[in-house]
Structure 1
Amino acid sequence: MIREALHHITHRTQKDRTMSTTTPLTSLDGFHATPTAQRADELARSFVAAVNAQDHTAFDTLLSRTFLSYDIGGVRSRTAMKKYYAGLHASFSGLRFEVHENVGVLVENDLIALRTIVTGTHTGDYAGVPATGKAIQTSVSHVFRFRDDRLVEHWQVMDTYRILAGIGRVPGVAAQFQQLLGVPQSPDGVFVEKPGTAFDAPRSGRTVTGDESRAVGRRLYDGAITTGVAEDVDALAEEYIQNTGWTPDGRSYFGNAWAIGRGAMPDGLAVQTHVVAENDRVASISLWDGTIAAAGTPVDFASADFLRIEDGVAAEHWDTVDYVRLYQSFGLLPEDV
């Protein structure tokens, strides 16, 4: 059944692309080196389609009976996942998860990584806030483990801050955080997000392997993120693109911001729990642990990062961060959120 469903998706996708010569290419179009990786990409997209359609039958087909989903707040079974997404649909009409195609779906061994953009309209209670009729947009990043054409494990990072700030549940404090980091401030207390470079945009330089991408990602983490030295940014391109807005483009902004951030939490550590590298892309999920020195408050949040590698450095970056917990660590949001 699962193979038939995936074949249908592949056939439909290829047909759609044949009908339209203007549709940008995605990771489905020759990016993966093996049929197994191609099938894993399709499997992840089937999961997203099942979420959007609230198709519980598809969930039972796609997810193993032993399926477990983890985030920093706890663990959900297959049945709990159905309830979780049903709850989101009840809170937001027109709720849709869309694969962030400029990032693509990455596959390495038995792991799949993708970033999704989430949109909807707040028409039901969410986090104790009655319907406001406001449109919401945020991101959720995912890593799946697959086996025997089924998804068996799932790790996700969701930016709920953008939703909560959008519906007035919390104040917009992103600009205050940027002020702490010494970078230009975003309007309305929410970072401005760009879609980034199209997946099929022309590239300079030679072909990049997954191992090379993984090594660049490691250099980035071992650089300013760990040392707090602003100049430790040789893993980034001079014209590095930061698509999710917490710093402006350019590696100097990134390095200077991390020097300030590390100064605030000198014992902080980003532990990469999952890394998925394929061709010129690498994705990771990290747990952040440490202490804000001035206040003595613990650091406890998760982030997911996607990098595009070009000419031996990270040219482009997308992320999803649990900003609610991050801002709580810095004392910008109350603990009862």
Structure 2
Amino acid sequence: MTLATPTTPRTGMEAVWALLHECGGARHHSVADRLVTEKARLHNPPWLGPDGRGAAGVRDHLLLLHRAFPDLRTEVEDLFGAGGRIVARLTHRGTHRGPWLGVPATGRAVEFSQTLIFRVEDGPGGRIAEIWYETDALGTLITLGAAPPLGTTSAARALGWAIAAAHHRAHHRVPQDQPWPWRGTDRQRVPAFHGPLSGTAPAAAELLEANARPLRRWIAECVNEQAVHICREIFHETYRGHSPPHAEPEPLRGPKGYERFIRAILTGFPDAKATIEDLIPVGDRVACRVRMTGTHLGPYRGLPPTGRPFSLGQIVICRIEDGRIAESWQEIDALGLMLGFGVVPRPGSGPAGYLLWFARLAATLATAPRRIAAARKGATA
């Protein structure tokens, strides 16, 4: 297969396209040196460690993926941007043939989503100066058998999973059967850059602000004020919500579908508050980075309350139609959330680590009533 020769991008959008396809798909990792500034910051989730810095940080992130999934294929599902910020929504598919987050190769096929927001410099070339991203790491770990399905918290089910996972980890090894770097036809062809994939319709500032309004109401009123009854005002009757299967196994359809979803969240986290940290309206798309905080005070998706506080990052993309949200894609740091609650083991845990996780989970649930009572007392003080 003939690979495209890396060229110098002329715009920030081209720089992002090149990073996704030349560095990500075609494995030209050194191209990152031309695309990323020396002081660029890659915002890693807290559980992954310190943020990446410069082109080296980006290369390290890509090498982590490509060594773990040497046949990784990346599809760019959406790409749009404005005002020096560019949004990309990706789907990755590959086979687990190398260590990932400390999990030895399992040989299992995986498919996981990822959403990124890039800040690019002004001027020719528009090099990448900052990257925020959210990845469905929890869903991937569940697929690899390194994290239990949500709701695995009863003593019998948790102990059963821990024993089975420890036995599998100890007795089933899959060698990394392809050397690094993986060579040959695995590298994706670099497609020609034809511009954004969506969110490109020209619009006046007034229309862009109007498109952003339902998303602002979603966060400010539906979530923070718990005004669930306004769902029919901000969600289109044909609304479709997209989340990883472990986060929402039943597809969200229409205002009533989202109302069911948000009621479940507010039942589990009745003091939840969300803050928009960045908002990017482009054409019929609106993207935002959101920080949600609260306390796990009620049951959620089969998880009994732990009484533990949380701070959760997420990236949301909405498609607006007739002034309402017609479609949304949400990528959240579900792994960080579940690690904070203690209901999944640390990535890379060995057989002993799985059994230690079970013991700690039992202690967490036993002491949860005390934390819940203290949190409620503090809220009313």
Q: 1:211 to 1:156 in 2, by over 3 A?
A: same
Q: TM-score, normalised by structure 1?
A: 0.74
1:279 aligns with 283
Q: What aligned pairs does 1:7-156 form with structure 2 within 5 A after superposition? A: 39-49=11-21, 50-73=23-46, 74-78=50-54, 79-100=56-77, 104-147=78-121, 148=123, 149-156=126-133
Cα deviations by residue, 1:111-165 (Å, 9 ceiling, x for unpaired): 1111111111100122332212111111111111111310111111111012101
* C-alpha contact 1:160 1:324 (8 A) present in aligned 2: yes
CA distance in 2, matches of 1:276, 1:86: 29
In the alignment, structure 2 segments of 5+ residues that lack a partner are: 1-5, 154-196, 298-304, 350-381
* C-alpha contact 2:32 2:58 (8 A) present in aligned 1: no
Q: What aligned pairs does 1:150-189 form with structure 2 within 5 A after superposition? A: 150-173=127-150
Instruction: Identify the match of residue 256 of structure 2 among 252, 255, 258.
Output: 252
* C-alpha contact 1:136 1:163 (8 A) present in aligned 2: yes
Cα deviations by residue, 1:280-335 (Å, 9 ceiling, x for unpaired): 10011112212112432112221111100000100001121212123345664346
Amino acid at match of 1:75: D
* Structure (1 or 2) with the greater strand fraction: 1
2:216 aligns with 218
Shift of 1:236: 0.6
- SS of aligned partner of 2:71: strand
Q: Does 1:6 align with 2:6?
A: no
In the alignment, structure 1 segments of 5+ residues that lack a partner are: 8-38, 177-198
State which structure, 1 or 2, has the greater radius of gyration over its C-alpha atoms. Answer: 2
Cα deviations by residue, 1:254-288 (Å, 9 ceiling, x for unpaired): 11221231232222222222211101100111122
1:238 aligns with 237
- SS of aligned partner of 1:124: coil
Q: TM-score, normalised by structure 2?
A: 0.66
CA RMSD of aligned residues (A): 2.8
Q: What fraction of aligned residue pairs are identical, expressed as a percent?
A: 23
CA distance in 1, matches of 2:313, 2:119: 19
Shift of 1:43: 2.0
Q: 1:227 to 1:255 in 2, by over 3 A?
A: farther
Amino acid at match of 2:98: G
- SS of aligned partner of 1:326: helix
Q: Which has the higher contact order (CA 8 A, sep 6+)?
A: 2
